[in-house]
Amino acid sequence: MSRRRFIQSTAVLAVAGPSVLTAADKPKWEIGCFNRPWGAWDYDTALIGLKAGGFKLTGLVGDHKGDLGLAANATPEYITALKKRIDERGLTPNIAWLKSQHNLPVEQSIASCRKLVDYAAQLGLKYLLSGGVSAASQYDNYYATMADAAKYAADKGVNMVLKPHGGSSGASDEVIKCLEKVNHPNFKVWFDAGNIIYYTGKDPVAELKPIAKYVTGFCAKDCAEQKTAVMIQFGTGKVDFQAVFKVLKEAGFNGPVMIECTAPAETPEQVTVNAVANRKFLENVFAEI
């Protein structure tokens, strides 16, 4: 190549390079936050913290003393009051933890799960989040219950989703088996990279690739080693968030991304500071992919 030709080619690349990924190509995934980081205080304190942190989207994933949350032993009146408390803070709940039971006869598991779906619809939730089951003896009950729930929830406008959580949903192989056993389009995946490390010690990026096309949401947490703390700030563990979200972007992921964990703190106000820091961490990651 002549010197003149080389200079011309370099100039073209210099112009074309920055346009490969424009601002319009950047992900616009909505970032919300669960109530779990404020678990040491009551639920109303969590709602105050979420609002103070500028969050608009929240989910019922985490327990608070004195509050049932989305539970089968709740009443319709309690659910109505719960929705009002969330609405009054200007928050929108999109998901709740599915407290299903699978040590019962399958008919009872199904009935209980249907009640939870009804309550999810009453709260206006888009998703119900399951973590599978730990005991192998309960796997078949779980698969049958989820198959019924997926069909029942579809008619209620609620999406059933599964996240890596050990046992029947430990990593990609187990998640794929769950999807095959349930065999319903209303049963998808919410990925949790931190849980892949916590429960299995495996590489979250490698475990995401086989299931990325099924992922409709993301539970954000970090983890340093298998069976170590997940209540930590993002970037202090081993989750390669940028690599994970690159895989999701390539798969056409459309969010949302929900912060599940932060470092613990002495006050709820400091928890809010930590939650905001984790949101900014994610925003910076998204800006780089």
Please report whether residue 75 resides in a domain. Answer: yes
| 97 close to 58: Cβ distance less than 8 angstroms | no
Please report whether residue 164 resides in a domain. Answer: yes
| 186 close to 159: Cβ distance less than 8 angstroms | yes
User: Confidence class of residue 23 from pLDDT cuts 50, 70 and 90?
Assistant: low
Helix (H) or strand (E) holding 79: helix 76-88
Higher pLDDT, 22 or 92: 92
**pLDDT for res 11:** 33
Give how far Cα 113 sits from Cα of 25, 101, 134, 182, 288, Å.
40, 8, 18, 14, 40
User: Confidence class of residue 2 from pLDDT cuts 50, 70 and 90?
Assistant: very low
**pLDDT for res 5:** 36
Residue 83 CA neighbour count, 13 Å, CB half: 16
Residues 257 and 264: their CA atoms lie apart, in Å, by 20
Higher pLDDT, 95 or 18: 95
Question: Residue 84 carries which side chain, given as an amino acid letter?
Answer: K
Give how far Cα 165 sits from Cα of 38, 162, 171, 192, 254, Å.
21, 9, 8, 8, 22
Please report whether residue 149 resides in a domain. Answer: yes
What's the pLDDT tens digit per position in 129-183?
999 999 999 999 999 999 999 999 999 999 999 999 999 999 999 999 999 999 9
Please report whether residue 288 resides in a domain. Answer: no
The neighbouring-strand residues paired with 161 are 129, 188
Please report whether residue 187 resides in a domain. Answer: yes
**pLDDT for res 25:** 76
Share the mean pLDDT of the chain. Answer: 92
User: Confidence class of residue 1 from pLDDT cuts 50, 70 and 90?
Assistant: very low
246 pLDDT more than 50:
yes
3 pLDDT more than 90:
no
pTM for this prediction: 0.91
Enclosing domain of residue 81: 44-272
> Rounded mean pLDDT of 185-209?
98
Please report whether residue 141 resides in a domain. Answer: yes
Into how many domains does the chain fold?
1
| 54 close to 276: Cβ distance less than 8 angstroms | yes
Please report whether residue 155 resides in a domain. Answer: yes
Please report whether residue 163 resides in a domain. Answer: yes
24 pLDDT more than 90:
no
Helices within 124-171 (DSSP H only): 139-156
> Residue 226 maps to which CATH number?
3.20.20.150
Placement of tokens 């799960």 in the chain: 113
